[in-house]
Structure 1
């Protein structure tokens, strides 16, 4: 994907450290020297192009509820259908395909462990597939980010 200057600047500057204030997009515009409407239009364009998956916080799940990594072994011909079903849950904040027996992986976050158990049971009932449930035992803090290189 070929990014324009503003898209490039937004990703490089704000994939970590989005402003925590009442008007974050206005603050982003101030920092980048443009208008808030330009920031919003740029984010919308990246979203529509499929190059932006989400804008939101990453938080310590144990302080705000419960979280688990889950996987399903989905027959190849059903992968799209099952992925769309998984994506219907607001509790899912990542969902991705892998080349493995367990080929659909997703993270569930909810208010408590019983809530996650209900979602996993519902998915099993709806899909006929048994979720692999991998709750976090030890947290590893990885500051994942990608520098885009030179500005266009």
Structure 2
């Protein structure tokens, strides 16, 4: 189990403040930093640190990748417990893997593949299967739902 992150007031303000309405302009980080009352340089340094320490696992836009020719697929693998950490490292190392979650289920590793083309999904799955020796179960999107979840720091 991970130790709780040690976040100061500015870190909390950044996390709370950047969960929506990110500026779309020539200097978005500068505008966001001004809204937060800090410099652009400080914002970028703090975001880098929050990502490096895995307080944040991702910071970036959410988009409908299909509109620009790409593809998303939810995927799962049944990983033997003794191999879980090794396989998690192999899967997460691929740039096409957007999220990776452990679940209490026969299919105990779930992740999202995001690729620039639909063909890239098959290529990523083949690579994961070759690297791990395990079967990847792919679950393409049948219907899209929008759930906006925002988390508040304390």
Deviation sequence 1:87-140 (CA, Å, 0-9, x none): 222111111211211111111111232221121122112211111110000001
Deviation sequence 1:47-98 (CA, Å, 0-9, x none): 2322011111110122121110000000111111111111222111111211
Note the 1:48-87 alignment, pairs <5 A.
Answer: 48-64=52-68, 65-87=70-92
Structure 1 match to 2:27: 23
How high is the TM-score relative to the length of structure 2? 0.89
Structure 2 match to 1:7: 11
SS in 1 for 2:144: coil
Structure 1 match to 2:135: 130
SS in 2 for 1:41: helix
**How many residues are treated as equivalent by the alignment?**
149
Structure 1 residues 41 and 74: alpha-carbon distance in aligned structure 2, compared to 1, 3 A threshold? same
How high is the TM-score relative to the length of structure 1? 0.90
Structure 1 residues 48 and 138: alpha-carbon distance in aligned structure 2, compared to 1, 3 A threshold? same
Moved over 6 A (4+): none
Structure 2 match to 1:105: 110
- Structure 1 unaligned blocks of 5 or more: none
